[in-house]
């Protein structure tokens, strides 16, 4: 038998040397030159398409990167410290609510596969991309830049808007950033504590935003049903985020609100990690708790950061750095829920998110205590740092 095996391998080598080989079934002879020609044709057709898709996705990331920090920065020109967290929450919670609609849309487009000759994933891109393209036109023409230049305020309203934001807000006519201002922001260590918190909460935010269908699939729901079951966690997070942000502004306690709800999110992930993998109903409830806690702590954090900076340019740079520090966390978030751990209940993802949210909670408490200590050093009535 060994001799026959040796002979068959020898025969195969000889076939390759003359330019032909037989398939394992021995039915079709393939000419190597023809095969190479076929591969070259496929490469010329497929690889450029892949490069185009990758290039478009890169441009999408580049153009989209400034959207959220730009919106947060934009709000500083219109609202005081005590008014920002709730407005940031409307933006972020709307994105959360869009996630709920995204699950429903994905469920619906799953039934559109082949409609008008288009695959389901193409329909998903069209349906979700069209409103963004249309809104860009309205934003360009109708969204004002600053209170001082908008058309819907009269001269008295503009003067009042400028007066009330003279100390706490961004200034539309402010000068460009100087190196001294940039250096002050870049070398202020307390801001890096804010950046660390945002990195920590970006991991669960990313994993929940992108992988909730995968998580729900691990809870016994399959295919399109797993998309549909992403709606309740997002809907609950929408309501909780708005409520927490309003409370944080009302009680001037953004740090403590972020700390408490980071802890609640961590508890949700911890419970999911320790529960038996087949405790589907309990783990689904924990997912709702974790999503609500992880999402609701973000707007107060962003409002807290911008509230403790004074120059317009400094606010812009700090917000941009804050979001940039969160970007690596978003990369981490998409890798911690491994498909081969679905039957085990995704322990790596849950433990990682729980640990990072606990870190965020601890740092928020430390920052709150530090700002309180700084304020006690100033004369009464001259509080510089918001909580």
Q: Got the DSSP string for 97-161?
A: HHHHHHHHHHHHHTT-TTGGG--HHHHHHHHHHHHHHHHHHHHHHH--S-TTT-SSS-HHHHHHH
Residue for token pair 């025969």? 11
Is CATH 1.20.1250.20 what the domain over 68-111+175-377 is classified as, yes or no? yes
How far is CA 33 from its chain centroid? 48
- Closest alpha carbon to 262 in 365, 358, 368: 358
Helix (H, G, I), strand (E, B) or coil at 20: strand
pLDDT in tens, 76-119: 888 888 888 899 999 888 877 776 676 677 777 777 887 888 88
Residue for token pair 């802890």? 263
Contact 384, 378 (CB under 8 A): yes
CA distance 174 to 176: 7
Give the pLDDT score at 18. Answer: 43
**What residue ranges of the chain have pLDDT lower than 50?**
1-26
What angle is formed at CA 298 by the lines to CA 296 and CA 301, rounded to 5 degrees? 125
Contact 351, 273 (CB under 8 A): yes
Burial class (CB in 10 A: 0-12, 13-18, 19+), 258: buried
Q: Classify the C-alpha dihedral 184-189-194-198 as positive or negative.
A: positive
CA dist 324 to 122, 134, 202, 300, Å?
Answer: 30, 28, 10, 18
Query: Beta strands 29-31 and 20-22: pairing type?
Result: antiparallel
Give the pLDDT score at 248. Answer: 93
Count CB-CB contacts under 10 A for residue 315. Answer: 24
CA distance 15 to 200: 59
Give the pLDDT score at 223. Answer: 66
Q: What are the b/e assignments for 16-30, b being 16+ CB within 10 Å?
A: eeeeebeeeeeeeee
Give the pLDDT score at 273. Answer: 92
Give the pLDDT score at 35. Answer: 75
CA distance 145 to 266: 39
Which ranges of 334-378 does DSSP label H, i.e. alpha helix?
A: 347-376
pLDDT in tens, 11-45: 443 444 444 444 444 455 667 877 777 777 777 66
């Amino acid at each position: 038998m060994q001799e026959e095996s040796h002979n068959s391998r020898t025969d195969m080598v000889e076939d390759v040397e003359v330019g032909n080989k037989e398939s394992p079934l021995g039915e079709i002879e393939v000419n190597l030159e023809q095969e190479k020609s076929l591969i070259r044709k496929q490469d010329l057709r497929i690889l450029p398409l892949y490069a185009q898709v990758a290039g478009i996705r890169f441009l999408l990331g580049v153009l989209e990167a400034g959207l959220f920090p730009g919106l947060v920065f934009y709000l500083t020109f219109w609202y005081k410290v005590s008014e920002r967290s709730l407005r940031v929450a409307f933006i972020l919670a709307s994105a959360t609510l869009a996630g709920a609609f995204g699950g429903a849309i994905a469920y619906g487009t799953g039934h559109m596969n082949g409609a008008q000759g288009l695959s389901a994933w193409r329909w998903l891109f069209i349906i979700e991309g069209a409103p963004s393209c249309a809104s860009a036109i309205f934003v360009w023409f109708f969204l004002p830049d600053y209170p001082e230049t908008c058309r819907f305020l009269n001269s008295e309203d503009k003067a009042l808007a400028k007066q009330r934001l003279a100390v706490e807000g961004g200034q539309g006519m402010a000068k460009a950033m100087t190196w001294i201002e940039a250096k002050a922001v870049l070398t202020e260590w307390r801001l890096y504590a804010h950046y660390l918190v945002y990195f920590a909460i970006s991991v669960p935010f990313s994993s929940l935003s992108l992988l909730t269908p995968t998580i729900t699939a691990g809870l016994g729901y399959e295919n399109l049903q797993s998309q549909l079951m992403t709606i309740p966690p997002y809907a609950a997070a929408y309501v909780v985020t708005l409520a927490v942000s309003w409370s944080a502004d009302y009680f001037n306690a953004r740090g403590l609100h972020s700390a408490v709800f980071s802890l609640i999110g961590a508890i949700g992930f911890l419970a999911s990690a320790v529960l038996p993998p087949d405790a589907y109903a309990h783990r689904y409830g924990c997912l709702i708790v974790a999503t609500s806690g992880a999402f609701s702590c973000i707007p107060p954090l962003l409002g807290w950061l911008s509230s403790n900076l004074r120059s317009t340019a400094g606010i812009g740079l700090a917000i941009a750095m804050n979001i940039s520090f969160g970007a690596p966390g978003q990369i981490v978030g998409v890798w911690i829920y491994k498909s081969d751990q679905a039957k085990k209940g995704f322990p790596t993802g849950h433990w990682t998110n729980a640990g990072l949210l606990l870190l965020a909670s601890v740092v928020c408490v430390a920052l709150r205590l530090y700002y309180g200590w700084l304020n006690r050093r100033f004369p009464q009535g001259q509080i510089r740092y918001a909580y």
